[in-house]
């Protein structure tokens, strides 16, 4: 599903954040990305949905080669990748319903189809009754559940999560993890950067550890492995 070969990312200010990474992630896998702050985890993840473009190497996500993809194909590529952020990134002036619907509107879905699917995913995260609320009327845990609904509304093949529990208390973190596990169980590939030791050591999955822009560990059912 995701393949990197000798991928390099050098930012325009001269910082090299990813140094020659090669890795394969199969459809349906669940991968944690761990490592110290500044190691390159966010950059690694941003390359996968083309928020950043690699400077060199080969990077394939599904059928798309992200270094060669035409601009016109980027929206189609993004359709197969859902993204969840630490700080939710919901649009403050749109209701819950509108936030989730927007992800379907931008790819030209029909109004009736949008309504059916949005209500379905809001129900899935248990927040259909909040569809008319605005993000600032919701708790952090609820906002993250909405952002998960938004990320899966177009049925992506891959869900990318950058510290999805980073702003949440343990109880809400486990609620979010339960949703991510369920999404994975339905066949979606998960790539999740995290500093949450308890989650990584409890819900066992593949662990890729990045330090100084390189993969220094890649284990099936690995541990978190850091002291912080
Ligand atoms: P992590 O997610 O592991 O904390 P990042 O991928 O955010 O690591 O950062 C890796 C390195 O790249 C750091 O040295 C960081 O300062 C640098 N970096 C991140 N984003 C940018 C950017 N937009 N421009 C320049 N340097 C950046």
Q: What is the pLDDT of residues 23-64, one digit of tens each?
A: 999 999 999 999 999 999 999 999 999 999 999 999 999 999
- Share above pLDDT 70 across residues of the chain, in percent, rounded to a whole number: 100
What's the confidence (pLDDT) of residue 75? 86
Rounded to an integer, the average pLDDT of 73-86 is: 92
Average pLDDT (172-198) is: 97
The mean of the pLDDT values for the chain is 96
Tell me, using a 6 A CB cutoff, whether residue 15 lines ligand 1.
yes
What pLDDT was estimated at residue 227?
Answer: 82
| E strands in 148-188 | 158-162
Contact 38 CB / ligand 1 (< 6 Å): yes
Q: What is the pLDDT of residue 55?
A: 97
pLDDT of residue 142: 97
The two three-digit tokens of residue 131, written as one number: 């569809």
Distances (CA, A) of 78 to 46, 103, 118, 154, 218: 12, 10, 18, 10, 26
Residue 75 CB contacts under 8 Å (≥ 6 apart), including other chains: 106, 107
Is ligand 1 within 6 A of the CB of residue 27?
no
Strand segments (E) across 11-78: 16-25, 30-34, 56-61, 64-65
Ligand 1 center from residue 152 Cα (angstroms): 27
pLDDT reported for residue 228: 64
Do 210 and 218 contact (CB within 8 A), yes or no?
A: no
**Nearest ligand 1 atom to alpha carbon 39:** 3
- 3-class secondary structure, 90: coil
Which pLDDT band holds residue 84 (cuts at 50, 70, 90)? very high
The finding on whether 11 has its CB within 6 A of some atom of ligand 1 is yes
Q: How far is CA 209 from CA 135, 166, 197, in A?
A: 33, 18, 13
The whole-model pTM stands at 0.96
CA pair distance 68, 200, nearest whole angstrom: 34
Ligand 1 atom, smallest distance to 36 CA: 3
Is the CB of 37 within 6 Å of ligand 1?
yes
Q: Report pLDDT digits (tens) over 90-126.
A: 999 999 999 999 999 988 999 999 999 999 999 999 9
The full set of domains in the chain, from first to last, is 2-219 (3.40.50.300)
């Amino acid at each position: 599903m995701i393949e990197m070969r000798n991928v390099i990312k050098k930012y325009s200010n001269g910082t090299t954040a990813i140094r020659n990474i090669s890795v394969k992630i199969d459809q349906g896998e669940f991968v944690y990305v761990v490592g110290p702050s500044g190691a390159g985890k966010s950059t690694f993840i941003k390359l996968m949905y083309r928020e950043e473009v690699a400077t060199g190497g080969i990077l394939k996500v599904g059928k798309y080669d992200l270094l060669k993809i035409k601009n016109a194909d980027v929206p189609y590529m993004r359709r197969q990748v859902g993204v969840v952020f630490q700080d939710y990134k919901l649009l403050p002036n749109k209701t819950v319903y509108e936030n989730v619907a927007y992800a379907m509107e931008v790819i030209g879905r029909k109004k009736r189809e949008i309504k059916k699917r949005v209500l379905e995913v809001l129900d899935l995260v248990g927040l259909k009754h909040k569809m008319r609320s605005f993000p600032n009327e919701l708790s952090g845990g609820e906002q993250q559940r909405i952002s998960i609904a938004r990320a899966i509304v177009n049925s992506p093949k891959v869900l990318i999560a950058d510290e999805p529990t980073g702003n949440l208390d343990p109880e809400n973190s486990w609620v979010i993890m339960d949703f991510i596990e369920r999404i994975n169980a339905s066949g979606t590939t998960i790539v999740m950067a995290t500093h949450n030791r308890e989650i990584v050591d409890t819900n066992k999955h593949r662990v890729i550890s990045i330090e100084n822009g390189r993969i220094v560990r890649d284990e099936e059912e690995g541990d978190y492995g850091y002291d912080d």
